[in-house]
Chains A and B, each alone.
Chain A
Amino acid sequence: MLSFIIKRALEAIPTMLVLTFVSFMLMYLAPGSPFLTEKGMPPEVLANINAKYNLDKPLLEQYIIYLGNLLQGDFGPSFRYLDFSINDLLWPGLVVSATIGMWALLFAVISGIAMGMMAALNRNKTTDYSIMTIAMLGIVLPTFVMAPLLVLLFSIKLRWLPAGGWNDGAAQYLVLPVIAVTTHLVAQIARITRGSLIEVLNSNFIRTAQAKGLPFRYIIFKHAFKPMMLPVVSYLGPVFVGVLTGSVVIDVYFGTGGIGQHFVNGAINRDYSMVMGVTVLLGVMYIFFNAVTDIVYAFIDPKIRY
């Protein structure tokens, strides 16, 4: 297991190098630049800015400077928010998004698995159909529809919850963004769980357990639960990163200050260091959580050993 972890960590180095190099070059290929505005500016002003941000150096040199700073944990200055460095922007944003994401995921895993199991155990009965109908609603309703609907009901009509803001993560500010993020996840997890459990229940080792006369509850939790979780875990691996790093729809609509908005605005504004910062952060998280998923596999699937 230890050698597996070390191997994974070593593999991550070339991956990150390729990732930063390719995204750095791609970003500069995109038309436009951070300080290009409709107002425009005289060439001498632009020259001063380019000099200040090293934008006047050859591209490869800029990349090497960037990499050098990155190795010291410095993501560089933001080209859009001139009073901030990327480090100042990424971490508070990540905290906001991760808080929303963790709650949403926790809720989704618990209720999604419960709903999926209930549906599978009542296969083709009313319970199954109603749960799956609700799940389908959750899948087809995108966040940008969900969020305004929630606000209309809970903030404008009932005046129970704030329509936006974050206020350092106060509970009442969390509720609507978490619901908006979680609906889709609950639905997905419920559907995966249902399908997985139905398949597991049809397999030979379950039939054997039933033939032995084991109690049904015991069969479900002792024998069926772990194999049922395999597809759920492989779904959760990448979803985990996506959920932790937030959603631009949530951030813009609820004004949370999450990191999702930086993803999109960074690209729109050609805030080069922001785009790079976000890419590096995402890259590291994907590599890390993919490794975690593989390790979790080893625990729940006896056929997998490292």
Chain B
Amino acid sequence: MKKTKLLQSMLLASAVAASSLSAPLMAADVPAGTKLADVQEFVRDNGAEPGSLDPQKIEGVPGANIARDLFEGLLNQSRDGKEQPGVATSWSANADNTVYTFNLRKDAKWSNGDTVTAHDFVYAWQRAVDPALASPYSWYMEIPMIVNASKIVGGEAEPSSLGVRAVDDFTFEVTLEGPVPFFVKMVTHTTMFPVHKATVEAHGDKWTQPENIVTNGAYTLAEWKINERMELTRNTNYWNDAKTVINKVTHLPIEAASASLARYRADELDFGNFPTEQIKQLRKEMGDEIYITPKLCTYYYILNTQVAPYGDARVRKALSYAIDRDIITEHITATGQLPAYGLTPEIIANFDPQAPAYASMSQADRVAEATKLMAEAGYSDSNPLNINLLYNTSEGHKKIAIAISQMWKKDLPVETSLENQEWKTYLSSRNEGNFTVARAGWCGDYNEASTFLDLMTSTGMNDGKWINAEYDELMAASKTMSDPSANYNRAEEILAEEMPIIPIYQYTGVNLIKPRVGGYAYDNPEGNVYSRDVYIKAE
């Protein structure tokens, strides 16, 4: 292959992806001898109603789940989260990894029969940064440093000046301001999916309605009833339609886990959810239908470093050390979560986070160290630290907060009062710094450690206002390094030394999946599933 030489010089991220070019293309891979059901319909609980189906406006998981069925970006993800050809069949980078060229397949079609071209991508990407569209995810285009993206979002340049270009109908070129190593990983995200220009321009905000929408994915939208259901039918113009098995996909926006479980039990869902506190009973009842998968998300407590005494690293570390994370993951969350001692989850791609030193200490040693640190910081039983612990109203967060406050009380001169606030009130308190210790959670936007570590830079969503110059420099430099692992490990080390946040556990996803479902992407770390990979076996 002529590409081989080029590939060698390419970055790890894209190299891994490109090597999969020789692997079979994604679509439903039905093993020989499988008897398929006569009716190929897949009904899944999608958790909530999406805020939008417009790829450039989508900001949540429910919307992204549906967009992956309706649209196809330059690249897709394999079941285990690696990049695979999508509309682009191959891609390459120039010598300094700032100009990426994607070669598009010529047989990719929109659901109305039009050909998918590089111009569609140019239009969509310019749209994503256009202040007139005001996409809540426009920042996503700024992360890979696409030329002028930040200026356009900031209103200082025209959308047409974005560093994207259709070299010809089937060659799409992206120019970056620096060699961002994980750029290729980012193009599997909905924000970078193409849209059909004529349709968007003809219908404005209403272009995603079933009667208007034109899609380029395996499915098209047949029905959208808010808070009830969304029905997708096969897009017969999809280039790989011959390998799609499921004829109809129904996404149900079921908010209550108990309702999801009831409908799963009534056999109305193939893929459902359940209240995690019922796990013990469900394990007995339908253990082989429960799937627990690690997620790219971390649960942690933020300490407001602007408020005394949380500016004192000794206090922060003492509070962290005194938490026995094993008790929380084994007895409270109890659905396969891993204790977290750093910010980046262990399943992250291309980076193997080194566990900080305190992770390998015994809990007794950690408590001894914590006791010492608190004494040094001037706290004693006669002068205890009073903590107000803020969390958003939820039974799960409450249980964890109670356990942690007990751990603190038992071993340290600490008295904790719990405060719960309704979601937006809580967000506003965090945002405005009206807290001392607050619960938080973060999920990766793409499978690369910077989506976590950037959080703690002085310009990140760092609600505790912790500032560390070395950390900022490490993260800024890592952006354009071909292997930033050393920087990431040093950044995690600083977090462990300074403890501006207290990592608690790494999330898991828990779901129920009927045994009749085949081809489900259980191992995708971002939980990205394409319905076209799925098939229903005969029962």
Task: Name which of B14-22, B224-232, B367-375, B474-482 contacts chain A.
Answer: B224-232
If the complex has contacts A35-B136, A45-B136, A252-B255, are A80 and B51 also in contact, measured as CB distance less than 8 A? yes
> A49–B229 contact, CB under 8 A?
no
Binary contact track B224-262/A, C-beta < 8 Å → 1, others 0: 011111000000000000000000000011111011001
> A255–B253 contact, CB under 8 A?
yes
- List chain B residues, Cβ under 8 A from A31: 424-425, 428-429
> A38–B422 contact, CB under 8 A?
no
Interface size class of chain B, counting residues whose CB lies under 8 Å from the partner chain: 35 or more
If the complex has contacts A51-B134, A270-B424, are A82 and B266 also in contact, measured as CB distance less than 8 A? no
Q: Decide if B286 is an interface residue (CB 8 Å cutoff).
A: no
Shortest B464–chain A CB gap in Å is 13
Within 8 A of A (CB), among B157-214: 205-206, 208-209
How far, in whole Å, are A51 and B253 apart by their CA atoms in the complex?
A: 30
Interface centre among B139, B155, B228 (most CB of A within 10 A): B228
Q: Decide if A84 is an interface residue (CB 8 Å cutoff).
A: yes
Q: Decide if A32 is an interface residue (CB 8 Å cutoff).
A: yes
Within 8 A of B (CB), among A148-205: 148, 151-152, 155-156, 159, 162-166
Q: Decide if A209 is an interface residue (CB 8 Å cutoff).
A: no
Q: Decide if A116 is an interface residue (CB 8 Å cutoff).
A: no
Shortest B428–chain A CB gap in Å is 4
Binary contact track B423-449/A, C-beta < 8 Å → 1, others 0: 111011101000000001110010000
If the complex has contacts A45-B136, A269-B424, are A148 and B153 also in contact, measured as CB distance less than 8 A? no
How far, in whole Å, are A42 and B53 apart by their CA atoms in the complex?
A: 22
Q: Decide if A33 is an interface residue (CB 8 Å cutoff).
A: yes
> A83–B431 contact, CB under 8 A?
no
Q: Decide if B54 is an interface residue (CB 8 Å cutoff).
A: yes
Q: Decide if B498 is an interface residue (CB 8 Å cutoff).
A: no
Q: Decide if A41 is an interface residue (CB 8 Å cutoff).
A: yes
How far, in whole Å, are A294 and B138 apart by their CA atoms in the complex?
A: 55
Q: Decide if A257 is an interface residue (CB 8 Å cutoff).
A: yes
If the complex has contacts A41-B139, A255-B253, A257-B225, are A162 and B266 also in contact, measured as CB distance less than 8 A? yes
Number of interface residues of A (CB under 8 A): 54
Q: Decide if A89 is an interface residue (CB 8 Å cutoff).
A: yes
How far, in whole Å, are A34 and B253 apart by their CA atoms in the complex?
A: 20
> B268–A162 contact, CB under 8 A?
yes
How far, in whole Å, are A166 and B225 apart by their CA atoms in the complex?
A: 9
- List chain A residues, Cβ under 8 A from B142: 42
Q: Decide if B49 is an interface residue (CB 8 Å cutoff).
A: yes
How far, in whole Å, are A95 and B253 apart by their CA atoms in the complex?
A: 19
Shortest A149–chain B CB gap in Å is 11
Query: Nearest CB to that of A259 among chain B residues?
Result: B227
If the complex has contacts A38-B427, A44-B155, A52-B134, are A257 and B227 also in contact, measured as CB distance less than 8 A? yes
How far, in whole Å, are A80 and B229 apart by their CA atoms in the complex?
A: 17
> B57–A82 contact, CB under 8 A?
yes
> A268–B423 contact, CB under 8 A?
yes
> B54–A83 contact, CB under 8 A?
yes
> A156–B154 contact, CB under 8 A?
no
- List chain A residues, Cβ under 8 A from B416: none
> A49–B134 contact, CB under 8 A?
yes
> A32–B425 contact, CB under 8 A?
yes
Q: Decide if A40 is an interface residue (CB 8 Å cutoff).
A: yes
How far, in whole Å, are A82 and B208 apart by their CA atoms in the complex?
A: 10
Query: Nearest CB to that of A268 among chain B residues?
Result: B423
Q: Decide if A5 is an interface residue (CB 8 Å cutoff).
A: no
If the complex has contacts A81-B52, A82-B51, A164-B259, are A155 and B440 also in contact, measured as CB distance less than 8 A? no
Q: Decide if A69 is an interface residue (CB 8 Å cutoff).
A: no
> A39–B461 contact, CB under 8 A?
yes
> A164–B268 contact, CB under 8 A?
yes
Q: Decide if B263 is an interface residue (CB 8 Å cutoff).
A: yes
- List chain A residues, Cβ under 8 A from B59: 37, 39
How far, in whole Å, are A93 and B226 apart by their CA atoms in the complex?
A: 8
Shortest A116–chain B CB gap in Å is 33
Query: Nearest CB to that of B132 among chain A residues?
Result: A52
Q: Decide if B113 is an interface residue (CB 8 Å cutoff).
A: no
If the complex has contacts A32-B427, A83-B53, are A92 and B266 also in contact, measured as CB distance less than 8 A? no
Query: Nearest CB to that of A254 among chain B residues?
Result: B259
> B262–A36 contact, CB under 8 A?
no
How far, in whole Å, are A83 and B195 apart by their CA atoms in the complex?
A: 15
- List chain B residues, Cβ under 8 A from A262: 227
> A83–B268 contact, CB under 8 A?
no
- List chain A residues, Cβ under 8 A from B132: 52
Q: Decide if A253 is an interface residue (CB 8 Å cutoff).
A: yes
How far, in whole Å, are A245 and B389 apart by their CA atoms in the complex?
A: 38
Shortest A272–chain B CB gap in Å is 12
How far, in whole Å, are A83 and B224 apart by their CA atoms in the complex?
A: 11
Q: Which of A48, A53, A82, A255 contacts B227 (CB 8 A)?
A: A255
If the complex has contacts A162-B268, A256-B228, are A148 and B262 also in contact, measured as CB distance less than 8 A? yes
Q: Which of A77, A155, A255 contacts B266 (CB 8 A)?
A: A155
Shortest B114–chain A CB gap in Å is 22
> A255–B134 contact, CB under 8 A?
no
If the complex has contacts A151-B266, A255-B228, are A40 and B425 also in contact, measured as CB distance less than 8 A? no
- List chain B residues, Cβ under 8 A from A261: 227
> A255–B229 contact, CB under 8 A?
yes
Shortest B511–chain A CB gap in Å is 18
> A165–B205 contact, CB under 8 A?
no
Query: Nearest CB to that of B443 among chain A residues?
Result: A39
How far, in whole Å, are A36 and B422 apart by their CA atoms in the complex?
A: 13
Q: Decide if B287 is an interface residue (CB 8 Å cutoff).
A: no
If the complex has contacts A32-B427, A81-B51, A252-B256, are A41 and B229 also in contact, measured as CB distance less than 8 A? no
Q: Decide if B384 is an interface residue (CB 8 Å cutoff).
A: no
- List chain A residues, Cβ under 8 A from B54: 82-83
How far, in whole Å, are A284 and B134 apart by their CA atoms in the complex?
A: 34
Within 8 A of B (CB), among A82-113: 82-85, 89, 92-93, 96
- List chain A residues, Cβ under 8 A from B205: 77, 82-83, 85
11 contacts between A and B (CB under 8 A): A32-B427, A38-B441, A44-B153, A48-B131, A93-B227, A156-B266, A166-B229, A251-B227, A255-B252, A255-B253, A268-B422
Taking A83-B57, A253-B259 as given, write out 18 further A-B residue pairs in contact, using a Cβ cutoff of 8 Å, ordered by the A residue number: A35-B136, A38-B440, A39-B461, A40-B431, A44-B154, A45-B135, A48-B131, A81-B51, A156-B266, A162-B266, A163-B268, A164-B262, A166-B225, A252-B256, A253-B258, A255-B263, A261-B227, A262-B227
The 6 lowest CB-CB distance pairs between A and B, nearest first, are: A32-B424, A257-B228, A163-B266, A31-B428, A40-B461, A155-B266
Q: Report which A residues bind B (CB closer than 8 A).
A: 30-33, 35-42, 44-45, 48-49, 51-53, 77, 80-85, 89, 92-93, 96, 148, 151-152, 155-156, 159, 162-166, 251-258, 261-262, 268-270
